[in-house]
Amino acid sequence: MSQRIKIAQKDGKVSVEERTSAASIFERSVPGRTGFSLPAESADTAKKVDDAIPARFRRKSRAALPEVGELDVVRHFTHLSTRTLGVDTTFYPLGSCTMKYNPKINEDIAALPGNCHVHPHQPADTMQGLLKVYHDTAEILGKLTGLPGVSLQPAAGAHGEFTALLVMKAYFESRGEAHRNEVIIPDTAHGTNPASALRCGLEAVNIQSDSRGRVNIEELKSRLGPNTACMMITNPNTLGLFEDQIHEVAELIHAAGALIYLDGANFNAIVGRVRPADFGADMMHINVHKTFSIPHGGGGPGAGPICVRDFLAPFLPAPHIKFDGTSYSFDHNCPQSIGKVRSYFGNVNNVMRTYVYLRQLGEEGVRQIASYAVLNANYLLSLLAGAYDVPFGRRCMHEFVINATRQKNQGARAMDIAKKILDYGFHPPTTYFPLIVPEALMIEPTETESKETLELFAAAMLEIARLSAEDSSQVTAAPQSTPVTRMDELAAARQPVLSWPDSK
Amino acid sequence: MTNPFILATPAEEKEMLAACGAESIDQIFSDQIPAEYAWNKTFGLPPALSELEIQRELGALAATNRNSTDTVSFLGGGIYDHFCPAAVGAIANRSEFVTSYTPYQPEASQGTLQAFFEFQSLVTRLFATDVSNASLYDGATALGESLFMALGARPDRSTILVSETVHPDSRALAATYLKHFDVKLVTVPQSGGTTDLAQLKEAIGPDTAAVVLQHPNYFGCLEEAEEVAKLAHEAGALLISICDPISLGLLAPPGEYDADIAIAEGQCLGLREFGGGETLGLFTCKKEHVRRVPGRLVGIAKDKYDRQGFVLTLQTREQHIRRDKATSNICTNHAHNALRATIFLCLMGPQGMEHVARMSARNTARLRDAIVSKAPKAIAFEAPCFKEFVVRTKLPAIEVCRRALEKNFFAGVPLGHLGPGFENHLLVCATEKRTDAEIDQFSEVLAPCL
């Protein structure tokens, strides 16, 4: 980490001390300093503005934004970037998040003026290239999933879940089955599933997994009823296991007149090798920021396109995209549509990056995503399985879950192990998820990592297991190489400080 | 063709398979997935392209799109062509920022956490409100979230009043979001381009949970926000204010007129138009509502050595903890867009924000004056406006846009999508980027159509 040293000048003396927290941009503010360069105000500005905007609408004083120069800003944020780990910095095996390499060509194409400076209200004939990208991306996603009705409007995975559930409700209403208001959700599901159901006025019905980490068929049967609207299932599930009884699950759900919603968070494990429609999915979302290499950007933006069966397509958000053989356009005349779930057409920027990636990979390349994601996960599992307990056997899909109870009993909990991993220069795996595995560490290496990176990470993990067994205090004291060590999150939540205090 | 994103050589692949006790990758799949689901046919995807071909083909495709760098743009209506300093992209594109995940591990994420904390700080100062979250998807979904917050804060009320002058996408979204709840969504009509206050007084009542006002509104007109706030508060309802962040360099911020929840589309803060895709939902509120805030919040924390740092906080509101009792289902937000806005606001500072707001207002006034001098009756609404306004056109506005395009202008947003009666209305916008020559030429081009 750079800038660990702070040179201070006080009372004519220069002191050097270790600086561990980065100064706030507000502390760098110097009254009167500016960081922008625009033409001077036109001579008539004061008069024109005074005439146009009556005094009662005016701001009383300028906003207390920092007053800093361009170099101040550049140094400040460059320094902050060095206090952040990304996929470009190090291995990032965050389970369920698919932190694969983000190709740079995606960024170059997205940044072309003909892409990034198009206004959504331009006449359609002035943005045929962009509309073609929209149309073709939807078509490719429809082919890969086997679900031909596609909407690129949802802005993220959770937003896709929400949108698809609304589509489902509209479908049931059109059939006079508006009473269906229950959504069956396994206990391994992402928290967004029940939260999205709630947002649609639906009720979440939770079911437990069986001892193999799969859907408990008997419990599923007991929860099915006339009010069941759908089951939200993640496949492979968040334990990294393919739901091998999915055929039976889908038959039960469909026999009850309900639908299968596939949470596409783990699509990376099967893309190009299995079409979700073939195992019974009626609708799904795709996290393009996982499967299709969109960078996570510190938490977003992603995009959450949804793919649905033909009979659900009329209900997709408006507008729909149309191609008449010569030109592309948006069709706003969609009488059965649920309406809009986002302004304009969606996260066009990330649809563009998705398209670039899909065009570069082609059919064989897309198949290699899943092939090597699964190979890498199984290889890493084979390296760790002796030192750590893996509750669901030695085969996995694109990710696997460790149960660190053995290490906990030695004194080092899953969280301690995660923090110690930071000291070896890697980002930790996901911790304490899924909820059904105690002391869970969920590891997803992705297809883009090399054999030697997996081995280095495994070496660190084995060393941590050894330390845990011999002297767990060396694990619990971690991390020590980071700008700060473990934070007191309880105190932070008790009296939250959510913005820099105003000096006035 | 080579795949640069797969690193295993055939020899390595063999070693890895041996370690896994598998003959082939196919076997690892067939061990776990019933054979009936294995896809062995073709999808009919377009053929793979090398990076060089991508540059060539997708570069050529992008070049077919007209855009605000080759056509003089008077387009607005929520997405704007504002100035963006070079340093915004240069710094935001640092790959540590671009390729990092949500900062769930604070020790590895102090940089993004601090940036998002500064984002929250900058937004609350610009809006003069208490609390900002760390971003939502866009302005429209920010409205959706604010409605749930308001209904949660006023649990015994079930009517939401939305002014007709609110962005049509936001109004459409509100209808979609509330459809399955027992809530009445009532549109308060406009009169003369602003919310009809008499009708608002008529509609507001003891069942009103919130009043939604956009100021400046979709037509560019300024609303009597202070008066609307008073009306809402007298009835015990919340005021949800949708503002234009750029306008706040000049106009009273939502905190000054006592908005309870203030939201915005933040694309104007250093983001690109991108077909309306590079958006940023700004969400702020009074501190009494902090535990109902949707999405992530970053707060100050200390470690055991008393070193200051930042963490995601109040996470018990969120879906990964609360599941079906969360305040929202949002997980992935628009963090990187928020980072761009953060850098933008720091570079612009108080002076830059004021400058951009004043020059946008000035350029818009110049355009309006030029149109008035040529066609005095073409201005649809007399109310004061900030950076855009509506003109009445003799021809359908879509046709006017077509003609202007021949002279290399994007004339504006044709308002036909608002419904019958608006086909001959055009929403025009002049930001600080427009020059006097462009404004004058554009008014000449428009004149025969007015």
In a domain, residue A242? The reply is: yes
Segments in chain B below pLDDT 50: none
Sign of CA dihedral B287, B288, B291, B293: negative
Question: Which 3 state secondary structure label does DSSP give A231?
Answer: strand
What residue has token string 């429209």? B140
In a domain, residue A31? The reply is: no
Residues 6+ positions from A158 with CB-CB distance below 8 Å: A192, A195, A196, A304, B319, B329, B330, B331, B332
DSSP A339-372: --SSSTTS-HHHHHHHHHHHHHHHHHHHHHHHHH
- Alpha helix segments (H runs only) across B42-167: 51-63, 86-92, 95-98, 110-127, 139-153
Cross-chain residue pair A362–B137, CB shorter than 8 Å: no
Confidence check: pLDDT of A24 > 90:
yes
Cross-chain residue pair B358–A45, CB shorter than 8 Å: yes
The pLDDT value given to residue B2: 87
A244/chain B closest Cα distance in angstroms = 6
Q: Which two tokens stand for residue B287?
A: 């501190």
Best mutation target, B49, B56, B101, to test chain A (most A CBs within 10 A): B101
Cross-chain residue pair A21–B31, CB shorter than 8 Å: no
How much is the average pLDDT of A269-287? 98
How much is the average pLDDT of A468-475? 97
- Facing residue for B42 by CB, picked from A270, A344, A363: A363
Cross-chain residue pair B140–A127, CB shorter than 8 Å: no
The pLDDT value given to residue A1: 34
Confidence check: pLDDT of A90 > 50:
yes
Cross-chain residue pair A118–B308, CB shorter than 8 Å: no
Question: Which 3 state secondary structure label does DSSP give B52?
Answer: helix
B289-313: pLDDT as tens digits: 999 999 999 999 999 999 999 999 9
Structural domains of chain A, count = 1
Paired residues of B243 in beta bridges: B264
Spell out which residues of chain B touch residue A159, defining contact as CB-CB under 8 Å.
137, 141, 329-330
Domain B72-84+350-449 has CATH 3.30.70.20: no
Cross-chain residue pair B345–A65, CB shorter than 8 Å: yes
Is the Cβ of B278 closer than 8 Å to some Cβ of chain A?
Answer: yes
* Burial class (CB within 10 angstroms; exposed 0-12, middle 13-18, buried 19+) of B450: buried
Is the Cβ of A10 closer than 8 Å to some Cβ of chain B?
Answer: no
Q: Which residue in chain A has the smallest CA separation from B337?
A: A301
The pLDDT value given to residue A219: 96
Per-domain boundaries in chain B:
72-84+350-449, 87-343
- Facing residue for A492 by CB, picked from B13, B125, B299: B299
The pLDDT value given to residue B409: 98
Is the Cβ of A161 closer than 8 Å to some Cβ of chain B?
Answer: yes
What's the CATH class of domain B87-343? alpha beta
The pLDDT value given to residue B321: 83
User: If we measure between CA atoms, which residue out of A235, A230, A225 comes closest to residue A171?
Assistant: A230
Question: Which 3 state secondary structure label does DSSP give A23?
Answer: coil
CB A54 within 8 A of CB B384: yes
How much is the average pLDDT of A133-138? 98
CB A414 within 8 A of CB A393: no
**Radius of gyration over every alpha carbon of chain B, rounded to an integer in angstroms:** 25
Confidence check: pLDDT of A3 > 60:
no
Residue A370 vs residues A139, A269, A443: alpha-carbon distances, Å? 20, 5, 16
Spell out which residues of chain A touch residue B14, defining contact as CB-CB under 8 Å.
none
Best mutation target, A119, A285, A381, A399, to test chain B (most B CBs within 10 A): A119
Q: What is the CATH number of the domain that holds A328?
A: 3.40.640.10
Confidence check: pLDDT of A13 > 80:
no
Confidence check: pLDDT of A6 > 50:
yes
Is the Cβ of A11 closer than 8 Å to some Cβ of chain B?
Answer: no
- Which H or E run contains B194? strand B194-195
Name residues 428-487 of chain A within 8 A of B (Cβ): 428, 433, 447-451, 479, 482-487
Name residues 59-118 of chain A within 8 A of B (Cβ): 59-60, 62-68, 70, 73-74, 76-89, 92, 94, 97, 99-103, 105, 107-109, 111-118
* pTM greater than the 0.90 cutoff: yes
What residue has token string 């535990």? B291
Is the Cβ of B448 closer than 8 Å to some Cβ of chain A?
Answer: no
- Facing residue for A26 by CB, picked from B17, B51, B121: B121
In a domain, residue A136? The reply is: yes
CB B366 within 8 A of CB B191: no
Q: How far apart, in whole angstroms, are the C-alpha atoms of residue A102 and residue A438?
A: 32
Q: Which residue in chain B has the smallest CA separation from A248?
A: B34
Cross-chain residue pair A343–B347, CB shorter than 8 Å: no
CA distance from start to end of chain B = 58
In a domain, residue A42? The reply is: no
- Facing residue for A422 by CB, picked from B37, B108, B272: B108
HSE of B40 in the Cβ direction (CA atoms, 13 Å)?
7
The pLDDT value given to residue B320: 85
Is the Cβ of B447 closer than 8 Å to some Cβ of chain A?
Answer: no
Percent of chain A with pLDDT over 70: 96
Q: Which two tokens stand for residue B132?
A: 């900002």
Q: Which two tokens stand for residue A465?
A: 């297991």
DSSP B281-315: EEEEE-GGGGGG--S--EEEEEBTT--EEEEE--G
Q: How far apart, in whole angstroms, are the C-alpha atoms of residue A473 and residue A480?
A: 13
CB A402 within 8 A of CB A461: no
The pLDDT value given to residue A22: 81
Cross-chain residue pair A342–B138, CB shorter than 8 Å: yes
Cross-chain residue pair B351–A121, CB shorter than 8 Å: no
Name residues 210-239 of chain A within 8 A of B (Cβ): none
CB B237 within 8 A of CB B208: yes
A410/chain B closest Cα distance in angstroms = 23
How many interface pairs between A and B have CB atoms less than 8 angstroms apart? 695
Spell out which residues of chain A touch residue B301, defining contact as CB-CB under 8 Å.
487-489, 491-492
Best mutation target, A343, A392, A420, to test chain B (most B CBs within 10 A): A343
Cross-chain residue pair B299–A201, CB shorter than 8 Å: no
Instruction: Tell me which amino acid residue A430 is.
Output: T
Is the Cβ of B150 closer than 8 Å to some Cβ of chain A?
Answer: no
Name residues 414-433 of chain B within 8 A of A (Cβ): 414, 417, 432
Confidence check: pLDDT of A290 > 90:
yes
HSE of B300 in the Cβ direction (CA atoms, 13 Å)?
15
In a domain, residue A448? The reply is: no
Helix count (H) and strand count (E) of chain B?
14, 16
Angle formed by the axes of helices B51-63 and A128-145, to 10°?
A: 130
Confidence of residue A53 (pLDDT cuts 50, 70, 90): very high
Best mutation target, B2, B105, B218, B364, to test chain A (most A CBs within 10 A): B105
Is the Cβ of B114 closer than 8 Å to some Cβ of chain A?
Answer: yes
Cross-chain residue pair A68–B349, CB shorter than 8 Å: yes
- Characterize the bridge pairing of strands A182-186 and A203-207: parallel
CB A213 within 8 A of CB A241: yes
Is the Cβ of B337 closer than 8 Å to some Cβ of chain A?
Answer: yes
In a domain, residue A92? The reply is: no
Name residues 29-48 of chain B within 8 A of A (Cβ): 29, 31-34, 36-39, 42-48
The per-residue pLDDT of chain A, averaged, comes to 95
In a domain, residue A204? The reply is: yes
Q: Which residue in chain B has the smallest CA separation from A347?
A: B277
Is the Cβ of B191 closer than 8 Å to some Cβ of chain A?
Answer: no
The pLDDT value given to residue B73: 98
DSSP A70-134: HHHHHHHHHHHHHTB--TTTS---BTTT------HHHHHHHTSHHHHT--TTS-GGG-HHHHHHH
Q: How far apart, in whole angstroms, are the C-alpha atoms of residue B252 and residue B259?
A: 11
- Facing residue for B37 by CB, picked from A78, A278, A383: A278
Confidence of residue A2 (pLDDT cuts 50, 70, 90): very low
In a domain, residue A414? The reply is: no
Is the Cβ of A386 closer than 8 Å to some Cβ of chain B?
Answer: no
Cross-chain residue pair B3–A107, CB shorter than 8 Å: no
Q: Which residue in chain B has the smallest CA separation from A356?
A: B54
Q: Which residue in chain B has the smallest CA separation from A34?
A: B349
Name residues 349-408 of chain B within 8 A of A (Cβ): 349-356, 358-359, 361-362, 364-366, 368-369, 384-386, 398, 401-402, 405
Percent of chain A with pLDDT over 90: 93
- Which H or E run contains B202? helix B197-203
Q: Which residue in chain A has the smallest CA separation from B127?
A: A63
Confidence check: pLDDT of A229 > 90:
yes
Residue A82 vs residues A46, B95, B226: alpha-carbon distances, Å? 44, 10, 44
What residue has token string 């709840």? B181
Confidence check: pLDDT of A263 > 80:
yes
- Which H or E run contains A443? strand A440-443
